Structures are given as C-alpha cells and as structure tokens.
Amino acid sequence: KIYQRRSVPDMKPWHALPLLLRSFSATPQPAGSQCMLQTKSMQASDACLSFIHIPKTGGTTVEDCKREAVGGLEELGEIGDWNTCASLRGKDPVTRLWGMCDDQLLCSDPLGSLECSSLSTEPVRLKPSQEQSPLCSVVSTSCSRWHLPPALDEQLKASYHAGACHTFCVVREPLSRLKSEWLYRQDIGELADACSSEALDVFIETALAKARSDMLAWDCHLMPQARPPLVYYVFAAGDRRRERICEHVLKLETLEEDFDGLMQGYGLSLRLGETRRDGRNCSAEPSKKMRQLVQDFYSEDYIAFGYPFTDI
C-alpha cells in the first residue's frame, strides 16, 4: 500500500502535524498490530524522541508501536511483563524504548525502584506555595516511573532529555479520558459492568474526590495533564504560560495523523496503525452537575489544549 501525506506550509515539527510531501511503502504487521513499519530498516536521525506517557491517552498503543518495531509482535508478551523489556533490550541495545521499557528513565530513589523518589513510602514533600492546594494533602501512594509527571522528580525530568532527546506526549479531551478510566476499572474487575448515566455520575464523583485527596491515585490515571501547581506532564510548574516539558503535544483525537507526521519529521520509520480504542463502547453521558465538576477540575486541560467547554 502507498500512503501519502499532504504538505503543511510553514509547519514545525513540534506542532506534531505532517511535515513533508512524501510517499512511503508500508508493510502491514500481523493481525492486531498497532504499528505500520516502512520496508526500510528503522533508522533514527541525529535527533531522538522520548515518550512521556500520560495515562489514559493512548500511551500503551504508542509504546507497543516502538516495541513491535524493535522486536516484532511475537516479542510483545503481556503488558507489564518485564521479561519482554529485557528481551527487547537484548535484541537491540541501542534504540531508546518508550514507556515501561524505557530503561533510560532515572529516578531520585537510590534503590532504583519502579516508583520515583520515595513516593512509595513517604508523603510528597510540598513546597510552601503548594501546601494549600486542593489537589493534595498527604500522599501515600506512588506512580510507575513512566506515569509520573517528570517535574515531580528532577532526575526523571532530566532523563527524558538524556542523549539530546526531544520529548513527545499525547493528550486527550478530559471527559473522554475519565470515561476511559471508568471502563478500564470495569475491565479489570474493580467495578461492576455498567453503562448508564447514573453509574457514570457515581464514578466521576468518587474519582474526583479521590484525585483531590491523593494526586497519585490509581497510578496517576486521574492526574490532570496541565493543572497548576502540582501537575507537570506538559508544562513547567504545570503552568501553560511556561515552557513545555513535553515539546511535541499530540492529540488522541487525531493520533494517527499527528504521530505519523512527527515520526516522519524526525526520520523515524514508525507509522501508527489504527489507534486502539477502549475495549467496549458505552454512549452514557454524565449529568450536567458532573460535567461541570469535570470541567472545573480539568479546566486547565481544556484551555491549554484547545478542547471546548460544553455549555451547561
């Protein structure tokens, strides 16, 4: 198959849109694959990319694309299988992997645990200006290092840029992201199967209360993508007026186009197949009250990434 991208005048790579007018041959991977690879071998340009995985924004699909490119679909194994990461690293000791398998991510914790700094045993030490934030009082949980916002740990933040790497991430409309978490909790058996506005309302109210009391809840799955002062996935100090930690911001809603354009701009022969969607379909919508709660809590996400507020 031949895939073509239209040129976009004066478009820069960090806008995460197609950059070049170029056709390329693509070899479909086996059934179920999320990645399209060019027939030429995978070669990166002088620049490299590291991936900041914001939970519930399609990050596993992005990670799997890189893993497939290095090891093939048969090497993927189960999600969370560390033997898979070791196998891929043994097969290719040079290529930077993404997410769970990115062994260049370093944390301040001298023991090198799966969580950054000492978040698994101690509360996050807040700066005085942060102590009154409604998002967090005492934090007793932790997040996987590839889910933790980089600016919560300076060594982690620096490691994303190791080897002169540039960073990219994927963002998502906040209500859609929260609904995805609701369905995920059902899929793993923590919630009974349900698809109703009433059940969604209960989940939203519970989830946002949990996020306010523990900003690292559920492996950072509830954390806003941009809300100051405690959220640092995309912007320094969580402030959309500051410089980006994530240099190339892609949107889940246009992920295939954005991802392919970014990879092409960096000379990487990765092309994303059809984006994996949530495991089930549910058209339930929240009540006006719950929708307002979501828009209030994730207000900076809506503003920073251009998602429209819904009239209540």
Q: What are the tens digits of pLDDT across the range 73-110?
A: 555 555 556 677 888 888 888 889 999 889 898 887 64
pLDDT in tens, 34-82: 454 432 333 444 568 999 999 999 998 999 899 888 876 555 555 556 6
**Phi, psi of 137, rounded to the nearest 5 degrees:** -115, -85
Nearest CA to 140 out of 210, 211, 212, 217 is that of: 217
Alpha carbons 240 and 185: distance in angstroms, whole number: 30
Residue pair 102/168 in contact by the 8 Å Cβ criterion? no
- What are the structural domain ranges in the chain? 2-304
Rounded to whole angstroms, the Cα distance separating 260 from 264 reads 6
Per the CB < 8 A criterion, the answer to whether 165 and 48 are in contact is: yes
Q: Which residue has the tokens 């197609």?
A: 18
Query: pLDDT value at position 229?
Result: 39
pLDDT class for 227, splitting at 50, 70, 90?
Answer: low
Cα dist. 6→20, 261, 268 in Å?
7, 10, 18
What confidence tens digit (pLDDT) does each residue in 186-213 have? 998 888 999 999 999 999 999 998 888 7
Position 9 confidence tier, pLDDT thresholds 50, 70, 90: very low
Rounded to whole angstroms, the Cα distance separating 260 from 37 reads: 11
Kindly report the pTM of this predicted structure: 0.75
pLDDT of residue 224: 67
The closest alpha carbon to 25, from 214, 269, 220, 234, belongs to 269
What is the Cα–Cα distance from 103 to 162, expressed in whole angstroms? 11
pLDDT digit string, tens, across residues 243-279: 788 999 999 999 999 999 999 999 888 988 765 655 6
Q: Return d(Cα 173, Cα 27) in angstroms, integer.
A: 32
Q: What is the pLDDT of residue 194?
A: 93
Give me the DSSP letters along 54-79.
-TTSSHHHHHHHHHHHHH-GGG--ST
Tokens of 269: 């022969």
Question: How far is it, in rounded angstroms, from Cα 238 to Cα 16?
Answer: 21
> pLDDT band for position 124 (50/70/90)?
very low
